[in-house]
Amino acid sequence: MVKDEKLKLINEEGTRIDGRRPDELRPLKIEIGVLDKSDGSAYVELGKTKVFAAVFGPREVHPKHLALPDRAILNCRYHMASFSVDERKPLGMTRREIELSKVIREALESVVFLEEFPRTSIDVYIEVIQADGGTRTAGLTAASLALAEAGIPMADLVAAVAVGKIEGHLVLDLCDLEDKYGEADMPVAMAPRLNSIVLLQLNGRLAKEDFRRALEFAKKGITEIYQKQREALRKKYSGVSLMEV
C-alpha cells in the first residue's frame, strides 16, 4: 500500500496522528469473566483493537492417543473475525493466523505449569472482533488473563505490546496506520515479575541503539499493561471470601 504524501504520522513536536506522545499507550480496557460458557475468559480493548480470549480445560484429550504422559497439551487458536478489518477477510484460518497461533502458544507455554495436568489438553481461543494494530499482543495479553481466570497455574501473567519506528521516530503501541506505513514493527511480550521476554519479533530493520531503546519503550508499556491486568484480577476476586471458594 502506497502512503499518501500528505499523510503525516508524526509532527515536528513529536505528536502522533492520533494525538499520543511517542511513548504513550492507547486507551486500555481490560475485563475478565466475560464469557459464561468457558472456564476462563478475558476482554482486552486497546484503542480501537478489541479482542476476546476464552480458555477450556484442563480436559480429556481427543483422540486419546495424542495425550502426553508427563504434561498437558496447550492448544491455541488465534482468529480474526471476517468483519474485524476494512476489507472482508476470508472465512476460516489464514496462513498468518496459523503462524500467530503457534507464536502465541509458544509464549504461553513458557509460563504455564503444564506438568501439573498430564494427559489433558488446555484450549485457548483468541477472537479479534475489531483490528486496529497490535492484535497479536492484545490477544496474548487477553489469553494470559483467561488462563488465570480458569485457575491454570502460571509462573506469571504475560503482557505484550508492539514498538515501531515511523518517520524516523520510535513509538509505542502502533495503531493500524502506523503499522502499515512505518519502517519497523516489533511485538514484545514479557513475564514482568520474572523479567523474562517470552516473545520478540521484528518486521523491518532497527539499528542496534534503536533496538535497545525500543526494548525500553516496550518494558514501559508492558509495565502499565501488567498493572492493569493485576487490577482486573483484584477487582474480580476482591469480594470472594474463603467460604465461597
Return the CATH number at 134.
Answer: 3.30.230.70
User: Lowest-confidence range among 1-5, 88-92, 161-165?
Assistant: 1-5
How far is it, in rounded angstroms, from Cα 233 to Cα 226?
Answer: 11
Asked whether residue 115 is assigned to any structural domain, the reply reads yes
pLDDT for residue 5 is more than 70: no
β partners of residue 200: 188
- The number of beta carbons lying within 10 Å of the beta carbon of residue 9 is 19
The residue-averaged pLDDT of 203-221 equals: 95
The residue-averaged pLDDT of 214-241 equals: 91
CB-based contacts of 147, cutoff 8 Å, min separation 6: 40, 55, 108, 112, 122, 124, 154
Domain of 121? Answer: 28-244
Pull the grid cell for residue 48. 480501537
Pull the grid cell for residue 14. 513529536
Asked whether residue 15 is assigned to any structural domain, the reply reads no
pLDDT at residue 9 in the model: 87
Cα angle vertex 163, ends 159, 165, to 5°? 175
The residue-averaged pLDDT of 8-25 equals: 90
pTM (predicted TM-score): 0.92
Asked whether residue 176 is assigned to any structural domain, the reply reads yes
Asked whether residue 175 is assigned to any structural domain, the reply reads yes
pLDDT at residue 92 in the model: 82
β partners of residue 127: 52, 79
How far is it, in rounded angstroms, from Cα 52 to Cα 45?
Answer: 9
pLDDT at residue 6 in the model: 63
Asked whether residue 20 is assigned to any structural domain, the reply reads no
Residue 24 CA, chain-centre distance (Å), reads: 17
Asked whether residue 215 is assigned to any structural domain, the reply reads yes
Asked whether residue 4 is assigned to any structural domain, the reply reads no
pLDDT for residue 244 is more than 60: no
pLDDT per residue over 62-74, tens digit each?
889 999 999 999 9
Asked whether residue 232 is assigned to any structural domain, the reply reads yes
Compute the half-sphere exposure of residue 176: CA atoms within 13 Å on the CB side of its CA. Answer: 12
Q: How confident is the model at residue 245 (pLDDT cuts 50, 70, 90)?
A: very low
Q: How many domains does the chain have?
A: 1
pLDDT at residue 91 in the model: 79
pLDDT at residue 90 in the model: 77
Residue keyed to cell 498437558: 72
pLDDT for residue 44 is more than 90: yes
The residue-averaged pLDDT of 187-212 equals: 96
The residue-averaged pLDDT of 202-218 equals: 95
pLDDT per residue over 155-193, tens digit each?
999 999 999 999 999 999 999 999 999 999 999 999 999
The residue-averaged pLDDT of 86-99 equals: 87
pLDDT for residue 26 is more than 80: yes
Residue keyed to cell 507455554: 109
Pull the grid cell for residue 52. 476476546
Name the residue among 57, 90, 86, 53 with its Cα closest to residue 73: 57
